[in-house]
Chain A
Amino acid sequence: MADTSNGGGTAERHGYSGTHHHGGEAEEPDVLLDVPQLQVEEISLDVEELRAHVSVEADVLNLLNLSIGVDAQLSGVHLEIKGVEAQVLLKVRLDKIAEIIDRVLTTIDHHPEIVGQIVPPLAATAGQPGQAARRAGTELADTATSAVGDVESSSAEVTGDTSSSETTPGDQAVEAPEPDGSSAEAGQGRSRGLLRRRKQEPTGDDPPS
């Protein structure tokens, strides 16, 4: 039987069953894909390109970046096979990654000053959402102002109240509420106007514009 291997002399021999006998439940895989027995009478396979990728990644802020992966690519597979028996076993273990992360967290616990090294990046990152929020707030205010203006104009048209047309949308957006509650009334007026318009639309009595 021909035998090939690579990996700097670290090729392993486990009878190709994929089963390790190191003992202990702690070494059981966290991800397991087990096809113990697959039997197919005949397969005619045509695959131009097949890619399989398995990887694990773990990050702890910007202190730790761990990854491990395997990428397999097959191309130009055109074969016919009869009387097939196959076994497939995939195992992924996270114990070592968990152990490394635990060591990092323990180190931080014993030396919290380490966290100081990552504060500037965090502060910079935190600043970005703040600026974005301020921009979004400004844009939202502009949009709201414009929308209020549209609604106000519609309300004026429906109710026939021409006094609103003398006020620009921008003025209304910055206008302070009157002590007598005129802003609330304006709001109610807008609601009434919209309500009336909704009621008017289904009737179809309006002359075409």
Chain B
Amino acid sequence: MDSNPAPADIEFAATVKADQLRFRQEPTVEIHFSGTPDHQSASSSRRANLPDPVVEDVDYHDVRIDYLLTNRIRDADKANQP
């Protein structure tokens, strides 16, 4: 259950489907969240027919990746309220 019903201040969602996918090199992915005075971030992904990590030079078929990230400012004043 979503403990924070307010929508995120930043929200990114992407879905990629492919008939065939091949990595010639395993990529590096870094995601950094920031927020002042504080933030509450989340990211999630779902993969179909694609392992984690991927293997180089292997053909993957009927691939689907769903990715979602959110980041919201934590309102310290409201958080301290009962």
State whether these chains interact. yes
Q: Which residues of B contact A74 (CB under 8 A)?
A: 27-30
The answer to whether residues A67 and B36 also contact, given A5-B42, A12-B70, A96-B6 and a CB cut-off of 8 A, is yes
Interface string of A1-18 (1 = CB under 8 A from B): 111111110111110111
- Which secondary structure dominates where chain A touches chain B? strand
Query: Does chain A have a CB within 8 A of B20?
Result: yes
Query: How many residues on A have C-beta within 8 angstroms of the other chain's C-beta atoms?
Result: 57
B35 lies within 8 A of A86 (CB):
no
B11 lies within 8 A of A84 (CB):
no
B4 lies within 8 A of A10 (CB):
yes
Which of A87-95, A113-121, A151-159, A177-185 is near enough to bind chain B?
A87-95
Please provide the chain A residues from 25 to 75 with a CB less than 8 Å away from any CB of chain B in the complex. 27, 29, 54-56, 65-75
Taking the nearest CB of chain A, how far is it from the CB of B62, in angstroms? 9
B17 lies within 8 A of A86 (CB):
yes
Task: Name 14 interchain pairs, CB-CB below 8 A, sorted by A.
Answer: A3-B44, A4-B52, A29-B11, A66-B36, A67-B35, A70-B34, A71-B31, A72-B29, A73-B28, A73-B30, A73-B31, A79-B22, A84-B17, A91-B12
**Interface residue ranges, A against B (CB under 8 Å):** 1-8, 10-14, 16-18, 20, 22, 27, 29, 54-56, 65-94, 96-97, 100, 103
**Interface residue ranges, B against A (CB under 8 Å):** 2-37, 39-48, 50-52, 64, 66-73, 75, 77
